[in-house]
Structure 1
């Protein structure tokens, strides 16, 4: 087990991990271990190899009973998350199957990917769930309040965006039947593909939520055209798509862009170099420019500049979309 001692595994957690491995695999022998990139949850995630097979080892703060929610077991049982091999809430240890990820955009053509995502999200939302979830708009309200208090960015653009958000907040339907078991963070880091099937990982923030949150988040990362939007929703609703559903979906896409932009600003604030002044310029920061810089390796979401620019790009996209006639028509659907 010497590999654990020479790796990034915290020394104080090695004994508990060894015990977990013995319970899961009847051996504590690990032949390889490497740190994996994770989502926004902050948990330490590793790829380990034991018995010639790769697995994922996730370490969460010990004694945090809610850190490993039952949602992980539910998702694995439903076959939408990798198989769960071991979990211990007291020790904060999870071991699950490792998916040899192949980029979904390379496996599925755009229209087919929209269909696959719609089917995967439908499977997720069909999972029976008795847990709770905080009201979506209360969460966004808190994020906006926190953002305003930082004074990192301000101006007419932000006032305009938050005025549009208030319109959404006051008119968006709150339908009990649309509260479902939701992942809440369907970004590309959490959507894997083994070459045939889509898998979803990182269930730390899963809860009861509006069904359109998962649909909107997936669309914001993977859907580019109205045709793909239609393909996603038709796969999810088994073809039963009307103007009202399309309106809720489109409006929620903007809410989710606001959420992710504010999350990026939060991360950037934590990463900001001492004495550095935030660039107040919003113009010219769009998703296409950001994507080009990411592709060239000139930006990273692990660093301040990448987080800050991505936040701006997402915010600008939300505002641009909320200025359109399509947005006005969607809001009119809620009257």
Structure 2
């Protein structure tokens, strides 16, 4: 029977974990970790090792999360040197068991510390140079599928959401000349970076897939609340040089991410049983997208994205 995150006491979860060979018969301590809006993360400490059990409810698919894809891509990220070790996977239980990576979980303010942006860029570049992921991820495809879920279920969205459909399409057209895709996490909020000295781990591969690397960078900009100056530093560090074209493409993809993730929040607002303000979460992203859609730089960014590098 699939695990329903949040509805099981730690003692009950401990009994499920006994089915994992690496944990069977070993004394262990369980501790809930913060975060996780679509799963529950539990730290498992034994004398021989420390692990994280990523527990999910497999009964709902409104958000389009593919747990088999998450498992396959977590293994690829491990091979790339930036993902946590993958220990075991039990889809029948809804549990992915990974190694606990040491270090400091980042927050938005950490990006102002010297050297952090460079380390983040290096980690993204290492992931992108690693083994291809199992499936692709494209917000231009996911966004209309989210809209259908919302329409089919009568969920609430911002009243003027569709007013920006033409600008969303204009970005898609401006980016259409480059079909480069690499293995991307696609959900790198600050809490999904773990700083371990000069190394940065990237965690949580629920939305991972082969994608335009500019989406990864643009999503980091918005999800980590970077200033435009910090964002420029990130793009330059990632590419090793400054480029108006790559900066424009990453900035436009940042807007694409926010317009799409708005719908993710709207679906959660209508369907999730969690005590969390998903509507506020969605509106934060929507306001960022609208700011760019209506901003004075929008047309120039489209032109820069189409220009030769």
TM over 0.5: yes
Q: In structure 2, the residue corresponding to 1:193 is in which secondary structure?
A: strand
Higher relative contact order, structure no. (Cα contacts within 8 Å, ≥ 6 residues apart): 2
Task: Report the secondary structure of 2:254's partner residue.
Answer: helix
CA contact (8 A) 1:104 1:113 kept: no
Corresponding residue for residue 160 of structure 1: 163
Other-structure match for 2:244 = 243
Hey, what's the Cα distance between the residues in 2 that align with 1:93 and 1:271? 20
* Aligned mate of 2:289, from 318, 326, 329: 318
Number of residues of Structure 1 aligned to a counterpart in Structure 2: 291
SS at match of 1:325: coil
Distance 1:57 1:69, change over 3 A: closer
Cα separation, partners in 2 of 1:204 and 1:159, compared to 1, 3 Å: closer
Distance 2:157 2:138 in 1: 26
In 1, the alpha carbon distance for the partners of 2:168 and 2:46 equals 50
Match of 2:279 in 1: 308
Provide closer, same or farther for how the CA distance between residues 271 and 24 of structure 1 changes in structure 2, counting only shifts above 3 A.
Answer: closer
Q: TM-score, normalised by structure 2?
A: 0.81
CA contact (8 A) 2:218 2:250 kept: yes
Contact 1:76 1:82 in 2 (8 A): yes
| Alignment match, 2:298 | 327
Q: Matches of residues 71-110 of structure 1 in structure 2 within 5 Å?
A: 71-88=73-90, 92-105=94-107, 109-110=112-113
SS at 2:280 equivalent: helix
1:45 to 30, 34, 41: 41
**Structure 1 match to 2:122:** 119
| Residue in 1 that maps onto 2:257 | 256
**Structure 2: gaps of 5 or more residues:** 1-7, 59-65
For residues 71-99 of structure 1, give each alpha carbon's deviation from its aligned partner in whole angstroms, at most 9, with x where no partner exists: 11111122211223334556554332223
* Separation (CA, whole Å) in 2 of partners of 1:68 and 1:153: 28
Give the whole-Å Cα distance in 1 for the aligned partners of 2:35 and 2:77.
Answer: 18
Unaligned runs of 5+ in 1: 1-5, 273-301
Q: Per-residue displacement from partner, 1:243-295 (whole Å, max 9, x unpaired)? A: 111111111111111122211111111258xxxxxxxxxxxxxxxxxxxxxxx
1:26-49 CA-partner distances (Å, limit 9, x unpaired): x52233112224434x34421111
TM-score, L = length of structure 1: 0.75
